[in-house]
Amino acid sequence: MRVLGVIPARLHSSRLPGKLILAETGKPLIQHTWESASQADSLRDAETGQPRLLVATDSLEIARVVRGFGGEVVMTGDHSCGTDRIAEVVRQAAPDVDVIVNIQGDEPDIDPAAIDLVASLLIDHPETEMATLCAPILELDVLNDPNCVKAVCAADGRALYFSRSPVPFSRDRAPQELLGTDASPWRLHLGIYAYRREFLLRLTQQPPSPLEQLEKLEQLRALELGATIRIAEVAHRSVGIDTPEDYARFVVSRRAA
């Protein structure tokens, strides 16, 4: 089964403008992400040994930077979300892939094993159209933060719902009693997805669904379409770069390495 990794990339970011091409470490941020993702075994082409990985962007500046470090770029139109950008790439440049992994460009320390894991959920479960990852929530602040999306999972790993609210609701016990224990039901959704090719194209041809519009979460469109989303749990999430402070900490960590 052929797996393709796609990093959707746009130049503008409200909290950290031009973050993907910041290069205080000696490399642009997107290159760090590229190099980490390139180590995923699931993306390796069996014949050439090279990773099947590309950047999808509408920015000539990002394209120049990526080509400068030897990465592959596909230019796209202007899109409001990364999923639509990836779908355009799949339609025009990836007719022979089976599974597409959406990799966030601002996660330079992404674990290649996480890419392999999310791809394996589709490879090992033919009935599944889409897959993603989650991690345990350990802090009350994270549970209550609407910017931290919660995933509700069935015992067999199927996604039941995603929400910005602290779901499921604990009626009889305070969340503080459960967080960090084996009895805790709360999982943080991680922003990595794998799609079957046909489902990705169908998903992006549908209008935003009511729950998606309410919560501003694209994955709810898939659930409302009746799709099976399978979730695997990892111990820790990779840290995204969203603010100047995040980037400063990343630069310090790389200089110390």
Q: Which whole number is the average pLDDT over 158-167?
A: 97
**Cα–Cα distance measured from residue 191 to residue 174, given in angstroms and rounded to the nearest whole number:** 28
Only one residue has tokens 């990595």, namely 192
pLDDT, mean over the chain? 94
Rounded to two decimals, the pTM is 0.94
**Cα–Cα distance measured from residue 220 to residue 116, given in angstroms and rounded to the nearest whole number:** 24
For residue range 38-50, list pLDDT tens digits in order.
Answer: 999 999 998 888 9
The answer on pLDDT for 256 being more than 80 is no
Helix (H, G, I), strand (E, B) or coil at 240: coil
**Cα–Cα distance measured from residue 143 to residue 235, given in angstroms and rounded to the nearest whole number:** 16
Is there a contact between 54 and 73 (Cβ–Cβ < 8 Å)? yes
**Cα–Cα distance measured from residue 184 to residue 137, given in angstroms and rounded to the nearest whole number:** 8
Cis status of the peptide bond prior to 168, with omega within 30 of 0: yes
pLDDT value, residue 93: 86
The answer on pLDDT for 186 being more than 90 is yes
Is there a contact between 21 and 57 (Cβ–Cβ < 8 Å)? no
Is there a contact between 115 and 122 (Cβ–Cβ < 8 Å)? no
For residue range 126-148, list pLDDT tens digits in order.
Answer: 999 999 999 999 999 999 999 99
The answer on pLDDT for 169 being more than 90 is yes
For residue range 70-129, list pLDDT tens digits in order.
Answer: 999 999 998 888 899 999 999 988 889 999 999 999 999 999 999 999 999 999 999 999
φ/ψ of residue 207, rounded to 5: -70, 160
Is there a contact between 228 and 127 (Cβ–Cβ < 8 Å)? yes
**Cα–Cα distance measured from residue 100 to residue 3, given in angstroms and rounded to the nearest whole number:** 6
φ/ψ of residue 123, rounded to 5: -65, -40
For residue range 22-43, list pLDDT tens digits in order.
Answer: 999 999 999 999 999 999 999 9
pLDDT value, residue 136: 96
Give 18's contacts (C-beta < 8 A, 6+ positions apart): 11, 12
Beta strands at 187-196 and 130-136: parallel, antiparallel or unpaired: antiparallel
Nearest C-alpha neighbor of 128 from the set 226, 204, 209: 226
Only one residue has tokens 């950290």, namely 16
Tell me which DSSP letter residue 4 carries.
E
For residue range 207-227, list pLDDT tens digits in order.
Answer: 999 999 999 999 999 999 999
Listed by start position, the domains of the chain span 3-238
pLDDT value, residue 257: 67
pLDDT value, residue 19: 95
- The topology under which CATH files domain 3-238 is Spore Coat Polysaccharide Biosynthesis Protein SpsA; Chain A (3.90.550)
Beta bridge partners of 132: 193, 231
